[in-house]
Amino acid sequence: MPTSAALPLPADPHSYARPTEVSVRHLMLDLSVDFRTHILSGEATWQLQDLSEAATLWLDTRDLQIDAVSVGDHKHDTSTTWELGQPDAILGQSLRIALPAGTSQVTIRYRTAPGAAALQWLTPAQTAGQQQPFLFTQSQAILARTWLPCQDSPGVRFTYEATVRVPSHLLALMSAENPQMRNALGEYHFRMTQPIPAYLMALAVGDLAFTPLSGRTGIYAEPITLPTATSEFADLDKMVAAAEELYGPYQWERYDLLVLPPSFPFGGMENPRLTFVTPTILAGDRSLTSLVAHELAHSWSGNLVTNATWNDFWLNEGFTVYFERRIMEKLYGRPYADMLQVLGHTSLLHTLAELGPASADTHLHLNLAGRDPDEGLNEIAYEKGDYLLLTLEHLVGRDELDAFIKEYFARHRFQSMDTASFLAYLRRQLLNQHSGLEEKLQLSAWVDAPGIPTVAPPVTSERFTLVEQARQDWLDGTPATLLSTKGWSSHEWVHFLQGLPDPLSSDKLAELDAAFQLTHSGNSEILAAWFPHTLAAGYHPADAALESFLTRVGRRKFLVPLYKALLAAPDGHERAQAVYTQARPNYHSVASGTLDVLLGRS
């Protein structure tokens, strides 16, 4: 099916770009990676689409050293005038480039700053193998501008090709067609023929190896991590097939995973063709692979149809969470997916309580102008967005909702979507087909009001009902060793721990720990649910493991609540500062930026 005409989009409050005047359409990138200076240097050549005969190209930058700008092709290029705007703490600086009449191509020679916010430079000691350095990028939400002069708005798409030079003993990968082995020169060439927004630009360089899982899926990781990762993600091709059965063909050719060192700030990042994932999901029992299903689902929701601005972030994440759980249900059954839904609902309730019952930040459609868009990266977009779709499923049935979603992805592929346009499409294609459906759904209450509308159906899990009974039995005096926990997944253990009252006595926690070795669990989700209880109770046998976890793991989802719990503990402020001083060099700027504020370092 052909895509529909691109929709007119709202202005992006987080970009200086003026794509309605001059828009970028293709990037030719040439970069050298210097691990000694922590600098990327080279040039970005943009092919342009002039929509209004404008005399200026507006790009986004932040902390870039611009050395020269020229127009025309490389054989006949000429210098042109350019100017950087006043710096803004969030947005960086505009780069305004004068365009002589007829200009179709602009080349910018530049260098990144050693502290570029998107770039995480790791020493060998910070990697799994501890032999070679490592570099990875994290461009979402507006950090692409710290390593690439670009129109850094999710509403602007471009194709790209790149040449990247790295030390010859390391492998370079991008969100593009990728090599599967090193070459002797350390020079790698990349091509991305599907148009993507700047936040999906990605680069990783390190001691990496590859194992194929099927003709279109495989795993990249450090050699020491690769066997474990290959086993953990053995169902990857089944996930892709399940996703296609639900919502149509996978449009990106290959789907590979890159397992990063532990300092990666997120669970995963849906870079096209090459999802970045945290090693904290390597649980040994495939129990945390719903995160991979989530990133895979982004290949439709987010990468294929993209939020137009970060105020519309729920359009990326709400659909993706719903899609993720449908994939997991298809692979592992409804009871498994129900556990994920209940855990997500618990997280949503916690976020609503933190933000407050009347907070505008609990609306699906946000107003983030003047703020870092990372402030919208919370459970509202993810879980409230999913809950809206779950409610719609409850009202119209799965078959009709699935047909709507499949058509939505097909009709708007490789385009951006804002909230107003989506609501108009939803009304036209689905709601108006049923008398009174919009009122039953309480659509405006989901999108432009706080909290959870009353129409939302309850979420339950039969497996969690058994967990809750075991938890109550233990609280009522049944010895921990007599609880029926055999075969519990990570999700059941997390639900058990999240429902415990605080504070429990150290003796009660010691009993649990002796029975189930929770302090030394190899599962990061279990540890993240366990440590707040140990801190509240002053259970000191877990202190060393907690500090090791905070120093080793950079995933913001774990760090923020654990530092909050540590700060709330007796003498916790001093302990938190000491741990953070040691751990901060291991964290990506996405994590340290949040934690600096929390710990009073900003």
| Mean pLDDT on 188-195 | 98
User: Residue 118's closest CA among 139, 88, 93?
Assistant: 139
> Is the pLDDT confidence value at 64 over 50?
yes
> Is the pLDDT confidence value at 32 over 90?
yes
CB 197 within 8 A of CB 182: no
Beta strands in 171-317 (DSSP E): 171-174, 187-196, 203-206, 209-212, 217-221, 255-259, 268-269, 274-277, 305-307
Confidence of residue 125 (pLDDT cuts 50, 70, 90): confident
CATH match of 305-448 with 1.10.390.10:
yes
The tokens describing 276, both together, are: 């970045």
Confidence of residue 150 (pLDDT cuts 50, 70, 90): very high
CB 133 within 8 A of CB 123: yes
From the CB of residue 39, how many other CB atoms can be counted at a distance below 10 Å?
17
Question: Which ranges in 313-459 belong to alpha helices (H)?
Answer: 313-332, 334-355, 379, 385-396, 398-411, 419-429, 437-441, 443-448
Task: Report how far residue 595's alpha carbon sits from residue 602's, in angstroms, rounded to the nearest whole number.
Answer: 9
What's the pLDDT score for residue 369?
A: 96
| Mean pLDDT on 157-167 | 98
> Please, what's the b/e burial string for 236-260 (b: 16 or more CB within 10 A of its CB; e: otherwise)?
bbebbbbbeebbbebebebbbbbbb
From the CB of residue 434, how many other CB atoms can be counted at a distance below 10 Å?
13
Task: Report how far residue 341's alpha carbon sits from residue 324's, in angstroms, rounded to the nearest whole number.
Answer: 10
Task: Report how far residue 237's alpha carbon sits from residue 257's, in angstroms, rounded to the nearest whole number.
Answer: 11
Active site residue 295: yes
| Mean pLDDT on 576-599 | 92
| Mean pLDDT on 7-23 | 89
> Is the pLDDT confidence value at 2 over 50?
no
Name the phi and psi angles at 92, rounded to 5: 80, -135
How high is the mean pLDDT of the chain? 95
Assigned CATH class of 12-120+133-202: mainly beta
pLDDT digit string (tens) for 228-283?
999 999 999 999 999 999 999 999 999 999 999 988 888 899 999 999 999 999 98
What's the pLDDT score for residue 262?
A: 87
From the CB of residue 129, how many other CB atoms can be counted at a distance below 10 Å?
16
> Is the pLDDT confidence value at 6 over 80?
no
Task: Report how far residue 294's alpha carbon sits from residue 285's, in angstroms, rounded to the nearest whole number.
Answer: 18
Considering 247, 336, 382, 408, which one is annotated as catalytic? 382
Q: Taking the C-alpha atoms of 357, 361, 367 and 368 in order, what is their torsion angle to the nearest 10 degrees?
A: 150
Length of the chain: 602
Can you give the pTM of this predicted structure? 0.93
Active site residue 587: no
pLDDT digit string (tens) for 453-468?
999 999 999 999 999 9
| Mean pLDDT on 397-416 | 98
What's the pLDDT score for residue 286?
A: 85
Positive or negative torsion for Cα 226, 227, 231, 234: positive
CATH match of 462-598 with 3.50.50.60:
no
What's the pLDDT score for residue 584?
A: 93
> Is the pLDDT confidence value at 8 over 70?
no
The tokens describing 15, both together, are: 């970009």
| Mean pLDDT on 185-195 | 98
What's the pLDDT score for residue 589?
A: 86
Task: Report how far residue 230's alpha carbon sits from residue 239's, in angstroms, rounded to the nearest whole number.
Answer: 14
What's the pLDDT score for residue 570?
A: 87
User: Residue 139's closest CA among 373, 327, 440?
Assistant: 373
Considering 161, 270, 295, 492, which one is annotated as catalytic? 295
Q: Give, as one character, the DSSP assignment of residue 384.
A: I
Name the phi and psi angles at 43, rounded to 5: -145, 150
Helices (H) and strands (E) in the chain, counts: 19, 21
Q: Which of 68-77, 95-104, 124-133 has the lowest mean pLDDT?
A: 68-77
| Mean pLDDT on 164-190 | 97
Beta bridge partner(s), residue 70: 79, 107
Task: Report how far residue 168's alpha carbon sits from residue 172's, in angstroms, rounded to the nearest whole number.
Answer: 10
What's the pLDDT score for residue 73?
A: 82
What's the pLDDT score for residue 285?
A: 84
Confidence of residue 5 (pLDDT cuts 50, 70, 90): low
| Mean pLDDT on 205-217 | 98
User: Residue 535's closest CA among 523, 522, 549?
Assistant: 549
Name which residue leads in pLDDT, 192 or 552: 192
> Is the pLDDT confidence value at 4 over 60?
no
CB 207 within 8 A of CB 172: no
What is each CA distance from 158 to 24, 25, 197, 198, 572, in whole angstroms?
Answer: 7, 4, 6, 8, 48
Task: Report how far residue 200's alpha carbon sits from residue 222's, in angstroms, rounded to the nearest whole number.
Answer: 22
CA atoms within 13 A on the CB side of 518: 28
- Grouping H, G, I as helix, E, B as strand and the rest as coil, residue 327 is helix
Query: CA triplet 93, 155, 327: central angle to 5 degrees?
Result: 125
User: Residue 370's closest CA among 13, 16, 94?
Assistant: 13
Query: CA triplet 188, 189, 191: central angle to 5 degrees?
Result: 145
What is each CA distance from 537 to 286, 397, 513, 529, 575, in whole angstroms?
Answer: 31, 46, 13, 14, 16
CB 457 within 8 A of CB 309: no
Query: CA triplet 223, 227, 228: central angle to 5 degrees?
Result: 115
The tokens describing 476, both together, are: 């009522």
Pairing assessment for the beta strands 255-259 and 217-221 based on DSSP bridges:
parallel
Task: Report how far residue 320's alpha carbon sits from residue 268's, in angstroms, rounded to the nearest whole number.
Answer: 13
Domain chopping of the chain, boundaries: 12-120+133-202, 305-448, 462-598
Cβ contacts of 546-550, under 8 Å, gap ≥ 24: 547/579, 549/524, 550/579, 550/580, 550/583
Task: Report how far residue 216's alpha carbon sits from residue 501's, in angstroms, rounded to the nearest whole number.
Answer: 47
Task: Report how far residue 297's alpha carbon sits from residue 294's, in angstroms, rounded to the nearest whole number.
Answer: 5
**Dmax over Cα atoms in the chain, in whole Å?**
83
Name the phi and psi angles at 486, rounded to 5: -60, 130
pLDDT digit string (tens) for 310-338?
999 999 999 999 999 999 999 999 999 99
pLDDT digit string (tens) for 330-367?
999 999 999 999 999 999 999 999 999 899 999 999 99
CB 491 within 8 A of CB 342: no
